[in-house]
Amino acid sequence: MSPIERAREDLRNRGEMYMGDPKNLEELTWVTVRVGHDQVVQKGRASPAVLYAIVYISKDDYRMTPCSDWDPYYEGFGIGFEKAKANAIAQDSAMPELQGDFLNVCTAIDVKCAAKLQEDSAGHGLTHPLRRPWRSSGPWTGFRIQHRLFRNTGAWYGDWQEDPDPQFRIENWPVNWPAEGTELTKILGSHVVVPLPAEDVDGNRIHPLHYEEKLSGAVIRVGFVLNHYFPLNGKHRFTADIDNIRVLVPPTPEPPVVLLPPLAPLSPPASPQRERIARNDSNAGNVKVKREGDVTPAKERVITPPTPKRKRVVEQGLDESDVEVKHEEGELPLAKKQKLSATAGRAEKPALVNKATHVVKKEEED
């Protein structure tokens, strides 16, 4: 059994609300926590229901970092540093053993949100955790999961306590950008860090420095709570807040970057003089271009070497007018045929054949 199948069977055996099973949807309902805040609970229970799914953490739009990649620009939207939320998009894991489960999870979220909107028909806006392709009404491609990293220490806010492990406390909390460090010092005395409740494959807590390394691109089992907020501005907002994360399949490491060797330098382009000669002279390949300081002529023609026939004649000291190449045995050269036709009936002396050179020489007539 694969780790994926084992994780799913474990959720079912423990009676958890695994949203890949459509039957679990009927056991969920909304309850009001306080004015403007509702949660999904299991029927007959008061505590919020932890909904489970097995998903892939997308590398796109990934902000599950120690300070959520907070930027001062967000201040203009009323999102101060103390409200930073580590978040990412949960997508289909594409595991064959989980085929259809992710669609059931998205359908369950959609159904529960729609039911709440019917109860509270008032309002003029909606923020939804589910995601579709841009400007599309097609199937859901994922949903956003989030976790608030900093909490106020006042009793009215829930009396949050420091983590027992010093490396997970606010005074030792890492930052990625100088702006985050500046804002972190401002809330040292009023807030505590609530680390992301994430474990690796072996069940060890993931240090904030390794959030992106061990979570981005991983297949995880995530437990989340579905919340509904209806503040005074009249805009409905649904969130999937993380309760726990367990890595099932670690991210695939990025392939190493291969540095290619530098390209060899290209040959220098032809000079204008050579291009002009090549364009105007068909025998430009046999032309020697005069360089500065050269005393040779600008053009030097290459003499065509003698043919094999002429070479043999020169080497043997024969007269070219009396030499012909014998083409085939028994066949006379054309000049010999013409001479025989002109002197028909006249006896001719047989020609002597030089077998070494295949050259035929006529003896001089008496």
Which tops the pLDDT comparison, 119 or 88? 88
State what percent of residues in the chain have pLDDT above 90.
Answer: 39
- What mean pLDDT is predicted for residues 160-164? 84
Average pLDDT score over the chain = 77
Tell me what pLDDT residue 138 has: 64
Cβ atoms of 100 and 53 closer than 8 Å: no
Q: Could you tell me the pLDDT band of residue 272, with boundaries at 50, 70 and 90?
A: low
Q: Provide the pLDDT for residue 72.
A: 77
Higher pLDDT, 290 or 25: 25
Closest CA relative to residue 90, chosen from 82, 80, 101: 101
For residue 103, CA distances in Å to 48, 90, 108, 241 come to: 23, 12, 9, 19
Question: What pLDDT, on a 0 to 100 scale, did the predictor assign at position 249?
Answer: 94
**For 267-273, what is the mean pLDDT?**
60
Q: Give residue 236's pLDDT.
A: 86
The tens digit of pLDDT for each residue in 244-254 reads 999 999 998 66
The pLDDT of residue 298 is 46
Q: Which residues contact 289 (CB under 8 A, 6 or more apart)?
A: 271, 273, 274, 277, 298
Q: For 86-93, what is the mean pLDDT?
A: 93
- For residue 56, give the 3-state DSSP assignment: strand
Q: How confident is the model at residue 365 (pLDDT cuts 50, 70, 90)?
A: very low
- State the Cα–Cα distance between residues 25 and 355, nearest whole angstrom: 108
Q: pLDDT grade, residue 38 (50/70/90)?
A: very high
The highest-confidence range among 68-72, 207-211, 271-275, by mean pLDDT, is 207-211
pTM > 0.95: no
pLDDT in the model for residue 328: 47
* Range 144-158 average pLDDT: 82
- Is residue 348's pLDDT more than 70? no
Six-digit token pair at 365? 């007539």
Looking at residue 11, its pLDDT comes to 92
**In the predicted model, is pLDDT for residue 221 greater than 50?**
yes
Residue 211 has pLDDT above 60, yes or no: yes
| pLDDT over threshold 50, residue 174 | yes
- Asked whether the predicted pLDDT for residue 273 surpasses 80, the reply is no
